[in-house]
Amino acid sequence: MSERELVGLGALVVLVLLLLLRLPVAVAMLATGIGGSWVLSLVAPFLRFEPYLRQFKTLFWNTVASYDLSVVPLFVLMGYLASRGGLARDLFAGIQALVGRRRGGVAMAAIGACAGFGAVCGSSLATASTMGRVALPELRRLGYHPRLSTGALAAGGTLGILIPPSVPLVIYAIVVEASILEMFRAAILPGLLAVALFLAAIALRVRRDPGLAPETPAMLPAERRTALLRLLPVLLLFGAIILGLGLGLFTPTPAAGVGVCLVLLYGVVLRRLGRGGLDRSEIGRASLDTAVTTGMIYLILFAAEVLKGFFARTGLPAALAAWAAASELEPWLVLLAMLLLLVVLGCFLESLSMIVVVLPFFWPVLLALNGGEAVGAPDAAFGLDADELKVWFGILALVVVELGLITPPVGLNLFIIGSLAPDVPMRETVRGVAPFLAAEGLRVALLLLVPALSLALPRWLAG
C-alpha cells in the first residue's frame, strides 16, 4: 500500500472518530477532506496544498448554483407545503373511505397514505412525522392496538425514501453520477412492491391476531362521498408528478417546480374553502422548515464533493477497485456483504451520511467486480452493464438504507412515531415494525434475484 493510500485510510479512521465525537456530519467530512489534503501535500509534495485551497473560490458556488441539484430544495419545499397544506389529511381520509372497513383497513389506509404522501414529499422523516400526526389519532380512536398502529406508521414512513420523487435517490444519483430520471423510473416498481408487501404484512398479522384491529364501523354515505371527492385532486396531483416523471414528460427540476405550484394552488384553494390549507404564515413556516432540511442536505453534498476529491487524490478508491478486480472474490458474496454492512451501519448512522460516505467506496469495488466500466451485460459478473448496475445497486442500497430508519437503536422513524405516542413503550413500536422488517427482507431478496423489478421500467421507457 502506498503512502498516499495510507493517508486515505488514516483519514477514514479520523472521519469515523470525528463522527463519533458528534461533530456535524458535513463539518466532519470537510475537516477530513481539507485536513487530509494538507497531510497529503506533506507526504506527496507534488500534490500541493495551496492550489488545492484555491478551488474553494468557486467550489461552494458551483455546488449551490447547480441546475441538477436545484431539484432538491424544490422537492423539499413541496413536501413541507404538502405537509402544512392539509393534503395528508385528505389523502388518508380518502383511502380510509376506500379500504377502511376491512379488518386492519385503517392501518392499510395509513400505509397507502404514507406511499402517496411519500410521492409528493421525498423524505421518510417528513412522511413519518406528517402521517403519524394525521393517522395515529384515528387509529387510536378506532381501537387499533398501539403495536400495530405505531409499527405500521414507522414502517410506512420509510416508503418516502424510494417512491419518486425522493431526495435520497437524487443524492445517490449525484454521488455515483447516475441519471436522476433513470433512478426515479427504476424506483417506481420496488416502491409499489413495498406497499404491496406492507399491506400483506398487515393482512397476515391481523388474520393471526384479530384483536390487533377491531371491526371498523361503516362511514356515513355522505361522509364517504366527501372523502372520496377530496381524494380526487390529491390523486391528480400525484398522477401529474409520478406519470410526468415516469413517462419522461418532465425532467426532475420541472417536475419539482410544477409540483410546488400544484401543491401551493391546492393549499390556497383549501384555505379559500375554509378547510385549513395554506396562508402566508404557513407558507413562511414551510420556507423555514425547508431552510433547515435544505441547508443540511446542501452542506453534506458540498462536503461529499470535497471528500470525494480528497480520496481521489489519495488513490484509495481506485486501489480498492484494483484489488477487488484482481482478487478471487465472488461478486455476489461481496454484494451481499455490502448490503449486510449497510444494514448494520444503518443501525447507527443516519441514512444520508451513509449514502455520501459509504457508497462512494462500495461503488468502484462493485464496478470492478462486475468487469469494469466498459463491460457488456453478457460478460458482466452480475449480467448487467455498468449503467444498469449503477441503477440496480442504487435501488438495493437505498432499500437497505431505509431499513436503518426502523431498526433500533437509532431508527429515526421509531423515535418520531414514539414522540407522537409517548404512552406507547418503545419496545411495543419495535415489536410492531418486526413484520414490516420481514417484508423488507423479502423485498431485498426479490430485488436481488429479479433485477428486472428495478430495471424493467427504465428499459421500457428508454425504448
Interacting residues with other proteins (CB under 8 A): 19-27, 30-31, 53-54, 56-58, 60-61, 64-67, 69-70, 73-74, 77, 250, 253-254, 256-258, 260-261, 264, 283-284, 286-288, 290-296, 298-300, 348-350, 352-353, 410
Q: How is residue 277 written as a grid cell?
A: 390549507
The one-letter amino acid at 46: F
Longest pairwise C-alpha distance within the chain: 78
Return the SS3 of 153. Answer: helix
Nearest residue (CB) to other proteins, 27 versus 438? 27
Amino acid at 83: S
Helix intervals (H) in 247-383: 252-272, 280-314, 316-326, 331-346, 351-357, 359-370
Residue with Cβ nearer other proteins (35 or 143): 35
If DSSP codes are grouped into helix, strand and coil, which group holds residue 442? helix
Task: Write down the least CB distance from residue 358 to other proteins, Å.
Answer: 13
Question: Whose Cβ is closer to other proteins: residue 301's or residue 455's?
Answer: 301
93 and 137 Cβ atoms separated by less than 8 Å:
no
Minimum CB distance to other proteins, residue 308 (Å): 17
How far apart are CB 444 and other proteins at their closest, in Å? 24
Q: Closest approach of Cβ 79 to other proteins, in Å? A: 12
Identity of the residue, 284 or 441, whose beta carbon is nearer to other proteins in the bound complex: 284
User: CB 409 → other proteins: shortest distance, Å?
Assistant: 8
CB 157 within 8 A of CB 128: yes
Question: Which of 399, 338, 355, 398 lies closest to 197 in space, CA to CA?
Answer: 399
Cβ 81 to other proteins, closest distance in Å?
9
Q: How far is the CB of 106 from other proteins (least distance, A)?
A: 33
3: three-class secondary structure by DSSP: helix
Closer residue to other proteins (CB): 198 or 250 = 250
- What is d(CA 111, CA 196) in angstroms, rounded to the nearest whole number? 10
Q: CA 405: distance to chain centroid? A: 10
Q: Which is nearer to other proteins, 70 or 226 (CB)?
A: 70
Angle at 112 between CA 262 and CA 124, to 5 degrees: 70
DSSP string for residues in 24-84: -HHHHHHHHHHHHHHHHHHHSTTS-HHHHHHTHHHHHHHHHT-TGGGHHHHHHHHHHHHHH
Nearer to other proteins, 92 or 302 (CB): 302
Comparing CB distances to other proteins, the nearer of 73 and 190 is 73
> Residue 121 belongs to what H/E stretch?
helix 105-121
The angle that helices 252-272 and 180-208 make with each other, rounded to 10 degrees, is: 50
- Specify the 3-state DSSP secondary structure of 347: coil
Q: Residue 76 CB, nearest distance to other proteins (Å)? A: 9
Grouping H, G, I as helix, E, B as strand and the rest as coil, residue 382 is coil
Q: Which is nearer to other proteins, 21 or 220 (CB)?
A: 21
Least distance in angstroms from the C-beta of 435 to other proteins: 27
**Of 463, 461, 456, nearest to 190 (Cα)?**
456
For residues 292 and 462, which CB has a smaller minimum distance to other proteins in the complex?
292
CB nearer to other proteins: pick between 69 and 162: 69
Rounded least distance, CB 346 to other proteins, Å: 12
Contact 206, 432 (CB under 8 A): no
Amino acid sitting at position 179: S
- Residues contacting 249, CB < 8 A, separation 6+: 243
* Closest distance of CB 84 from other proteins, Å: 12
Q: What share of the chain is helix, strand, coil (3-state, %, to 5)?
A: 80, 0, 20
Rank residues 93 and 241 by Cβ distance to other proteins and give the closer one.
241
CB of 172 to other proteins, least distance (A): 16
Neighbours of 422 (CB within 10 A): 7
